[in-house]
Amino acid sequence: MIGERYFATRARLSAVVEGVRKLAGETGTELGALAEDAEGGLLDALRHPVFLAVCGEVNAGKSSFLNALFGEELCPVNVLPETKTNHWYLAGGRERDVVDSPELTRCVRRSRTLLRFNCLDTPGTTSSQREQLTVLRDWLPDLDLVFFIFPVSNPWGAATWDFIANLPPQFKDKLILVLQQKDERSEKDLEVMVGHMKDLAIHKIGEAPDVFPVSAKLALEAGRGEERRTRIWKESGYETLENFVSSKINWSFARRQSLRNVWDAASQLLRDIEDRMESRRRMLDADQGFLREIELEVDRERERHARKFAEKFSGLREVFSEQAQRAAQLLRARTTLVRSVGSLFSKDETPAEIEKGLVEAVKRAVEAQSRDDSEELVETCRAHWLTVIPRVEERLEMPAPDFDRGTAGFSESRERFSSGLGRAARSAVVAQKFRGMLDVQMEARREKLRRAICFCLVVISLSGGLGAFHLHWPAVFMLVVGLVVLIVALVQAKRSARELVDWFEEKASSCRVPFSEALAEDYEDGVRGFFVEYATLFEDIRRHVAKLKMKLKPQLDQWNDHFLELRAIEQDF
């Protein structure tokens, strides 16, 4: 394939440039010189086909030469002069001929060859239509190579040589002289003709370029077989010509310089992308630090509220003391003389009732206070979130989550906080063992009262027995003794009731601190639960930052791939 090395390098560079441009778009980097509308049109160098032109006398075989060179029927061939105007062959979707002017016709063809090459087939230099040849002169700056076709029947046609002589000197490197129809002459004749053409070239342009004898007939014949690189192909002379043309294209300074300019622009853009990604990485690291700082604020706020439990001690102690006073009133009512004597003849459930009442009352009071505290915690979190929203939106350029929707009103945390403290309060009251101690104290009191009454009953019974035997003075004495003991017992029962109530109140007072301390851990856990649920608002923000940071990894891998590929392409230059 003609110019395979150049086109391979260009294709590799095109792929890298496309990848670099795409990566620039992903990272928000300005394309600079590689933008579609950039001044200088560097990207055109990756798309611009190699532009070839063929010139020569009428019926010199110019169209046949092009068809044979590319191995397909691009140009119509006829015995009579077929090309009467400049025909510009280029690739397109729908085949058509468009007459742009009397001197130029665009021939659009569906051909893979024309994706790489544009061809200009000119009218004969001996034709009377000299205007067409002016088009060629105008296009010389855009042409990569110009083939001058000479027939073996007349390789020294004056019109063609005069045209060559009038070309500007800077276009001499683009000239390739071709001697067509070599199959009609012997090797010896061809040597003479080639020598003569070189002498004419020295005379006309001051130097002797290479001359390539070829046969389009043999080349087309070889191209129709399964193997193009056959003996016939070599005999056609096109193999040597193709190698020379490939060398001219592969080592064209202008085209290589164009690719080099694109390479430089891609390298510069890659450096800009690297700077952008590094800046983005530092920014994302700073964003994560920013989030950590906000989370530290939340932690500090959580610990502050957890420590505020010490301030709540007095309130919880008062709750306990108030309920303990009510329990003491119940105890006082249950230890009157009548109830005390009655308890000697039936089971006394006073300790169980007192403990149960105290437990339920304290539990309700603590739950009520915890609900008030939970409202305060919610408002604290809301107030802090209001300070977070503008910072997040300004720093991360993303909408902050809605507080109520994100936390669902802290319904779960409220319930856990209230019920948890209620259970903890119940356990704390039970742990003080009021029931067991009351049972002991009240049983000891009942036992004393039981003994005194039994003694009185025995003495009174003896007094009655003595009276039955007419021992009146001993009977009266025993009765007096029994009544005195009874009175003393009742007085003692009343005094012990006061002592029991006083003992209960003192015990309840001493239990206030252990009771509140037993709630400390549950209170702190409840507070932390609020802030843990509050911290879920940051999940979307953390995921947003993490997603952006993870996106940098494949971008960095792409950058490395493009960098290595550009370095490999540089070796081709």
Q: What is the mean pLDDT of residues 346-354?
A: 75
Q: What percentage of the chain carries pLDDT values higher than 70?
A: 92
pLDDT per position as a tens digit, 542-555:
887 788 778 788 88
Q: Which residues pair with 91 in a beta bridge?
A: 109
Range from 140-144, 177-181, 260-264, 349-353 carrying the lowest mean pLDDT = 349-353
**pLDDT at residue 229 above 60?**
no
**pLDDT at residue 304 above 80?**
no
pLDDT per position as a tens digit, 480-530:
877 887 787 778 878 887 888 888 778 777 777 777 777 777 887 788 878
**pLDDT at residue 335 above 90?**
no
Rounded Cα gap, residues 116 and 91, in angstroms: 9
Q: Are strands 50-56 and 117-121 parallel, antiparallel or unpaired?
A: parallel
Number of neighbours of residue 261 by Cβ within 10 angstroms:
14
* Residue 127 pLDDT: 52
In single-letter form, the type of residue at position 558 comes to Q
Q: What percentage of the chain carries pLDDT values higher than 90?
A: 13
Q: In this structure, are residues 124 and 54 in contact, taking their beta carbons and an 8 Å threshold?
A: no
> Exposure string (b/e) for 27-41, b if CB count within 10 Å is 16 or more?
bebebebbeeeeeee
- In 3D, which of 381, 404, 422 has the Cα closest to residue 530? 381
Q: Considering the chain, what is the average pLDDT of its residues?
A: 82
**Degrees to nearest 5, angle at CA 561 with 560 and 566:** 100
pLDDT band at 313 (very low <50, low <70, confident <90, very high): low
Element (H, E) at 107: strand 104-109
Q: Which residues pair with 380 in a beta bridge?
A: none
> Residue 153: CB partners within 8 Å, gap ≥ 6?
181, 184
Helix or strand or coil: residue 35?
Answer: coil
- In 3D, which of 492, 465, 490, 493 has the Cα closest to residue 479? 465
The CA distances from residue 221 to 68, 78, 365, in Å, are: 9, 17, 108
Q: In this structure, are residues 10 and 261 in contact, taking their beta carbons and an 8 Å threshold?
A: no
Q: What is the mean pLDDT of residues 168-178?
A: 85
- In 3D, which of 49, 53, 61 has the Cα closest to residue 6? 49
* Residue 352 pLDDT: 79
* Residue 128 pLDDT: 47
Rounded Cα gap, residues 191 and 292, in angstroms: 86
Residue 169 corresponds to which tokens in the numbers above?
């000197």
**pLDDT at residue 121 above 80?**
yes
Rounded Cα gap, residues 95 and 73, in angstroms: 14
pLDDT band at 28 (very low <50, low <70, confident <90, very high): confident
State the residue for tokens 């950590």. 292
Q: In this structure, are residues 302 and 385 in contact, taking their beta carbons and an 8 Å threshold?
A: no
* Residue 278 pLDDT: 86
Residue 6 corresponds to which tokens in the numbers above?
């150049």
Phi/psi at 335 (5° precision) = -115, 20
* Residue 82 pLDDT: 52
* Residue 382 pLDDT: 84
Q: Helices (DSSP H) in 117-165: which residue ranges? A: 130-139, 158-165
pLDDT per position as a tens digit, 377-397:
888 888 888 888 888 888 877
Q: CA-based Rg of the chain, rounded to a whole angstrom?
A: 55
Q: What is the mean pLDDT of residues 556-560?
A: 89
pLDDT per position as a tens digit, 395-423:
877 788 887 776 776 777 788 888 888 88
pLDDT per position as a tens digit, 232-280:
888 889 989 999 999 999 888 888 888 999 999 999 999 999 888 888 8
> Residue 252: CB partners within 8 Å, gap ≥ 6?
6, 144
Rounded Cα gap, residues 216 and 238, in angstroms: 8
**pLDDT at residue 70 above 70?**
yes
Strand 50-56: give its sheet, edge to edge. Answer: 96-101, 104-109, 86-91, 117-121, 50-56, 145-151, 175-180, 211-213
**pLDDT at residue 310 above 60?**
no
pLDDT per position as a tens digit, 438-489:
888 777 777 787 787 788 878 778 888 777 777 778 778 887 877 887 787 7
> Where are the chain's structural domains?
51-211, 446-510
Rounded Cα gap, residues 7 and 112, in angstroms: 13
**pLDDT at residue 145 above 90?**
yes
Selected residue with higher pLDDT from 315 and 248: 248
Range from 136-145, 201-210, 262-271 carrying the lowest mean pLDDT = 136-145
State the residue for tokens 């049972």. 439
pLDDT band at 312 (very low <50, low <70, confident <90, very high): low
Residue 503 corresponds to which tokens in the numbers above?
């003992």
Selected residue with higher pLDDT from 84 and 195: 195
* Residue 79 pLDDT: 43
Q: In this structure, are residues 32 and 15 in contact, taking their beta carbons and an 8 Å threshold?
A: no
**pLDDT at residue 117 above 80?**
yes
* Residue 268 pLDDT: 92
Helix or strand or coil: residue 58?
Answer: coil
Burial classification of residue 485, based on how many CB atoms lie within 10 Å of its CB (0-12 exposed, 13-18 middle, 19 or more buried): middle
Rounded Cα gap, residues 119 and 83, in angstroms: 13
The CA distances from residue 196 to 154, 173, 211, 274, 388, in Å, are: 11, 20, 10, 60, 90
Element (H, E) at 87: strand 86-91
**pLDDT at residue 177 above 90?**
yes
Q: In this structure, are residues 42 and 284 in contact, taking their beta carbons and an 8 Å threshold?
A: no
Rounded Cα gap, residues 565 and 371, in angstroms: 66
Residue 131 corresponds to which tokens in the numbers above?
């205007």
Q: Which CATH architecture has domain 51-211?
A: 3-Layer(aba) Sandwich (3.40)
